[in-house]
Amino acid sequence: MLLNKETQKFVRMSLSEDNAYKDITSRLVIPQDKNIKVVLISREPGIFCGMDLLRYTFSLLDKNIKFKKFVNEGCRFDKGAKIIQIEGNARAILAAERVAINIVSRLSGIATLTAEFVKLTEGTKAKIMDTRKTTPLLRYIERYAVRIGGGCNHRYSLSDAVLVKDNHLRAAGMMVKNKLDAVTASKIIRNMRKRTSLSIEIEVETLEEFKIFIPTAPDIIMLDNFSVAQIKKAVEYRDKYYPKIILEASGGINLKTVKPIAVTGIDRISLGALTHSTRAVDFSLELI
């Protein structure tokens, strides 16, 4: 669910940051009892996300505000489409406008980009996944937007699953002169399995590292910055010898490269770009 105590607090803090309750301009030029009717219009196509937060934002400024939806959560819209009609106190609507639009623009942007990646991988088994490269304190709602776009969520935080990355390998003494020590690595990973029931994922940077780690039976192996040819070789090796292990591709994947990667037979594709560099969808609130 999008609307909960955490997200409600986020909206209240956003309104407070903008001093929405002390909108000096509206107080000086608009009568206190003036009512207006506005409509949120898209200036470009996309997938809408964040309806509950939008409604909640306006409702905090005017508890009697009325809404009429034209687009449902997760639905695709065209340029110029009406999204929602809002009727209520003019001062309240104008004070909440920027915060509300900022939220849905950001979330709709994430949902729209995610849907583009998902569409490009149709017909394959590859799942499009987010990463922890989210806006600080906005992870919950940004991950929600990924799901609305048809994607899947990776681990939420550091405590949800084990993900051994390159710096872990070096800090734990598994790398000697930038080369993986197979004996030490195998010992540490096998010992880890005895100490936790959580999912274990290992990040590898070369096919050599991949073949060293796969016999230790992690749940998932992340192929970091592998070429399409390397991913294909890893998938073929996995399918032949260790079919139960999940393979994930990550690192610099974009809309041009995602399809060739997906057709290799990879199970998961994780993309920090879904949340760290998404462009917001452009919306406008117009008086009618």
Residue positions annotated with a catalytic role: 98, 133, 165, 203, 224
Tokens of 106: 């950001």
For 69, list phi and psi in degrees, rounded to 5.
-80, 140
Cβ atoms of residues 43 and 280 within 8 Å? no
d(CA 194, CA 172) in angstroms, rounded, equals 17
- The residue type found at 36 is I
The SS3 of residue 246 is: strand
* 141 and 7 Cβ atoms separated by less than 8 Å: yes
* Residue given tokens 């929405």 in the structure block: 20
SS3 per residue for 123-171: CCCCEEECCCCCCCCCHHHHHHHHHHCCCECCCCCCCCCEEECHHHHHH
Instruction: For residue 77, give both structure tokens.
Output: 């819209």
> What does residue 44 show for φ and ψ, rounded to 5 degrees?
-160, 160
